[in-house]
Structure 1
Amino acid sequence: MAPEPKAQRPSEGRRPADVSTDDGASGAEAVDPGEVRDAAEASLLRKLHTRQLSVSESRGVLLAAGMTGGAADELLDQFERLGYLDDLSLSQQLVRAAVERKGQGRQAISPLLTRRGIPRDVVDTVLSEMPDDDLERALDFARTKARSLGARDRETALRRLLGQLARRGYPSSVSMTAARQALDEL
């Protein structure tokens, strides 16, 4: 269900469109703020139907659709009140996916959240809620990968495992412990 549009001041949502004529002269054509708002809102809703967006990403969609900053902020506030936008919920889902499906650690997850425009305080909160089982997850991953590296000499296998664990965002001490233990278990 689409949110009801709010009343706007006449200056909000207005964007002058430069119109070039054949003789090289240009003029300004006034754009109805209500039409800009409706089009921007429809664009954002289409994007939200395909994937959850952060407030920052949503602001970018609205600005790209021609809304001004103040009008975009009003619409974003309305979407947050309605529950369409929730940075905390989004970041929790992203952390869960990164941990469960990709086996990533905190060092890989933090930049992911930052790239999605999640505020630093929300990132810190969500990362602090993560279980402190980096070693267990790293060890599970290392055991799986160590089996495929069994034919290599120990130093090569260790170096490759360390690289794979580092790319998944595990601290070097955790990576080293997990890689050595996985190779010792072979």
Structure 2
Amino acid sequence: MARTSQERGGSSESRASREPPLDPEEQARALCLRLLTGTPRTRRQLADAMRKREIPEEVAEHVLERFQDVGLIDDQAFANAWVESRHRGRGLARRALARELRHRGVAAELVTEAVELLDPEQEEQTARELVRRRLPGTRGLDRDKRLRRLAGMLARKGYSEGLALRVVRDALTEEGQAEEEYGAEQNSSWR
């Protein structure tokens, strides 16, 4: 015979009501710690999360200051790591990285410092690598269509139009020269 919740020691409601509710500061700390456990967050992201939970603004500000003082929140470190990770992993250029950081609430001066860590030569090299990987998938299309598709891919990743067009044209030229050399080798072997 099944026992009722009263017979097992009370309902879950009565147990929850016996525990005092967390005060707003404890709620704010718990929320921030939970959010920071999964992934680094910016100060604004944490503030937005607390606002959604209706934690009073002065309490939220106090908790954020304390977390920043002890180093649990560091928007500059977040921005630097974001630039490194997203450039290496997704091939994003400075412009796209800056847009993402601003969207996450990183201050403009911190965004500038973070994207300046990415030197122009490294950015161009990444663009060349992205085009090199995508180039085979465009074979069979006419040159102009290939140029538009590859330059468009770079533009969506935040590369300037000038850099994108130069890198794609270079890759197409190199591919054409390689094909000519291969064709010449094949012709000479038939003789």
> TM-score by structure 1 length?
0.79
Q: Distance in 1 between matches of 2:63 and 2:159?
A: 39
Q: Which residue of 2 aligns with 1:64?
A: 52
Q: Which residue of 2 aligns with 1:8?
A: none
Q: Does residue 126 in structure 1 map to residue 114 in structure 2?
A: yes
Choose which of 35, 42, 45 in structure 1 pairs with 2:30.
Answer: 42
Deviation at 1:92, TM superposition (A): 0.9
Choose which of 68, 73, 78 in structure 1 pairs with 2:66.
Answer: 78
Higher helix share: 2
Deviates more, 1:70-79 or 1:34-43: 34-43
Q: Which residue of 1 aligns with 2:169?
A: 180
Amino acid at match of 1:160: R
Kindly report which structure 2 residues correspond to 1:80-95, keeping only aligned pairs within 5 A, or say none: 80-95=68-83
Percent identity for Structure 1 against Structure 2? 25
Q: Which residue of 2 aligns with 1:157?
A: 146
Query: Which structure's CA Rg is the greater one?
Result: 2
Choose which of 69, 79, 104 in structure 2 pairs with 1:116.
Answer: 104
Amino acid at match of 1:185: E
Higher strand share: 1
Deviation at 1:73, TM superposition (A): 1.2
Choose which of 117, 132, 144 in structure 2 pairs with 1:143.
Answer: 132
1:1-45 alpha-carbon deviations (Å, 9 max, x no partner): xxxxxxxxxxxxxxxxxxxxxxxxxxxxxxx99612111211121
Contact kept? 2:24, 2:56, Cα under 8 Å: no
Deviation at 1:94, TM superposition (A): 0.8
Deviation at 1:177, TM superposition (A): 0.5
SS in structure 1 of the partner of residue 116 of structure 2:
helix
Structure 1 residues not aligned, in runs of 5+? 1-31
Amino acid at match of 1:115: H
Contact kept? 1:36, 1:66, Cα under 8 Å: no
> TM-score by structure 2 length?
0.77
Please give the root-mean-square deviation of Cα atoms over the aligned residues, in Å: 1.6
Amino acid at match of 1:154: R
SS in structure 2 of the partner of residue 101 of structure 1:
helix
Contact kept? 1:143, 1:183, Cα under 8 Å: no
Deviation at 1:145, TM superposition (A): 0.9
Deviation at 1:143, TM superposition (A): 1.3
Q: Distance in 2 between matches of 1:64 and 1:37?
A: 15
For these two proteins, the number of residue pairs brought into alignment is 155
User: Following TM superposition, where does structure 1 have runs of at least 4 consecutive aligned residues deviating by more than 3 angstroms?
Assistant: none
Deviates more, 1:102-111 or 1:67-76: 67-76
